[in-house]
Amino acid sequence: MSVVELKERLVATQVWRSVFRHRYTDSNRNRSLAIFSNVFLHIHPVKVPEKNIRFWHTMCLGGLSFGLFLLLTVTGVLLMFYYRPAAPQAYWDMKELEFVVSSGAFLRNLHRWSAHAMVLLVFLHMARVFFAGAYRPPREFNWVVGVLLLILTLLLSYTGYLLPWDQLAFWAITVGTNMAQAAPGIGPKFKFLLLGGNVIGENALVRFYVLHCVALPLVAAVLLAVHFWRVRKDGTAGPL
Q: Please report, as ranges, the residues that interact with other proteins according to CB under 8 A.
A: 50, 55, 92, 95-96, 98-100, 102-103, 106, 167
Q: Which is nearer to other proteins, 106 or 229 (CB)?
A: 106
- For the four alpha carbons of 227, 190, 79 and 167, in that order, the dihedral sign comes to positive
Q: Which is nearer to other proteins, 64 or 132 (CB)?
A: 64
Closest by CA to 224, choosing from 93, 63, 38, is 63
Closest approach, Cβ 224 to other proteins, in A, equals: 23
Closest approach, Cβ 105 to other proteins, in A, equals: 8
Q: Which is nearer to other proteins, 108 or 227 (CB)?
A: 108
Q: Which is nearer to other proteins, 25 or 167 (CB)?
A: 167
Q: Roughly how many angstroms between the first and final C-alpha of the chain, as a whole number? A: 61
Closest approach, Cβ 102 to other proteins, in A, equals: 5
Distance between CA atoms of 102 and 126, rounded to whole angstroms?
Answer: 37
Closest approach, Cβ 90 to other proteins, in A, equals: 13
Q: Calculate the dihedral angle through the C-alpha atoms of 77, 42, 59, 67, rounding to the nearest 10 degrees.
A: 10
Q: Where are the alpha helices (DSSP H) in 13-103?
A: 14-19, 28-36, 55-58, 61-80, 89-99
Q: Which is nearer to other proteins, 56 or 131 (CB)?
A: 56
Neighbours of 110 (CB within 10 A): 17
Q: Which is nearer to other proteins, 8 or 166 (CB)?
A: 166
Closest approach, Cβ 163 to other proteins, in A, equals: 17
Q: Which is nearer to other proteins, 53 or 120 (CB)?
A: 53
Q: Are 109 and 117 in contact (CB under 8 A)?
A: no
CA angle 39, 149, 191 (to 5 degrees): 130
Closest approach, Cβ 98 to other proteins, in A, equals: 8
Closest approach, Cβ 199 to other proteins, in A, equals: 19
Neighbours of 92 (CB within 10 A): 12
- For the four alpha carbons of 166, 169, 172 and 177, in that order, the dihedral sign comes to negative
Cβ-in-10-Å burial (0-12, 13-18, 19+) of 85 comes to buried
